Amino acid sequence: MSRGLFITVEGIEGAGKTTNLEFVRSVLGELDMEVVTTREPGGTPLAEEIRELLLRPRDEQVSSTAELLMMFAARAQHLEQKIMPLLKSGVHVLSDRFTDATYAYQGGGRGLSWELIANLEKIVQRNFRPDLTLLLCVNPEVGIARAKKRGELDRFEQEKLEFYTRVQDAYMKRVAEAPERYCVINAQDPLELIQPKIRQALLNKLAE
């Protein structure tokens, strides 16, 4: 049995990750493929508890290093208990965010070093990387406006615009490091333009 594909969707808040993840699921479903969707931080009961700790707005200043370690603690649990067993059993896994988000938010946004993140990535994932990453790019003003429409903002969404510009730049730095893994999409376009591109990227990956 061949291993399932691990597909991740990335971008700043309001880029359309949740919307397009559902679309990816439907495309794979049309092809009769077994697929499980998940998210980071989160994906297992323990990792979801860590997510709640991470996203809850609080008065206490959160150390960037503590934030980084909690992201990787949740990821280690998620990988071991959910992602790897599913992939090994031939199921495709779609994740709303993964380690690119750590480079983007804790690296670009918080200013932690790329090397530190790479070291933790090696400990937790060894050489494991997504097979395909859909990066949805949106101007931070547009993304935040979309996220605000949803109601109360979480701890990350309360960050300023410059933070999101650094996050977006860090995502692009990741793409430059391994362009073959990414499909970069202009997420300001209407969904009718975006989704055929996503479908094609999936079909290309499946045909490899």
Size of the site for ligand Z5A (CB under 6 A): 26
Closest approach of Cβ 50 to ligand Z5A, in Å?
11
**Residue 154 lies near ligand Z5A (rule: CB under 6 A):** yes
d(CA 75, CA 129): 12
What DSSP string describes 122-190? HHHHTT---SEEEEEE--HHHHHHHHHHTSS--TTTTS-HHHHHHHHHHHHHHHHH-GGGEEEEETTS-
The contacts of residue 151 (CB under 8 Å, 6+ apart) are none
Task: Give the chain's radius of gyration (CA, Å).
Answer: 16
Closest approach of Cβ 65 to ligand Z5A, in Å?
13
Q: Which CB atom, from 86 or from 194, has the smaller least distance to ligand Z5A?
A: 194
Q: Which CB atom, from 62 or from 206, has the smaller least distance to ligand Z5A?
A: 62
**Residue 141 lies near ligand Z5A (rule: CB under 6 A):** no
Classify residue 200 as exposed, middle or buried by CB count within 10 Å of its CB (0-12, 13-18, 19+). exposed
Say what angle helices 64-78 and 45-55 make with each other, to 10 degrees: 160
Q: Which CB atom, from 171 or from 202, has the smaller least distance to ligand Z5A?
A: 171
Residue from 80, 191, 200, 204 that binds ligand Z5A (CB under 6 A)? 191
Site string for ligand Z5A, 85-124 (x = CB under 6 A): -----------xx---xx--xx------------------
d(CA 50, CA 35): 24
**Residue 185 lies near ligand Z5A (rule: CB under 6 A):** no
Of the candidates 50, 84, 48, 97, the one whose C-alpha atom is nearest the C-alpha of residue 69 is: 50
Site string for ligand Z5A, 47-86 (x = CB under 6 A): ------------------------x---------------
Q: Which residues bind ligand Z5A (CB under 6 A)?
A: 11, 13-19, 40-41, 71, 96-97, 101-102, 105-106, 146-147, 154, 156-157, 187, 190-191, 194
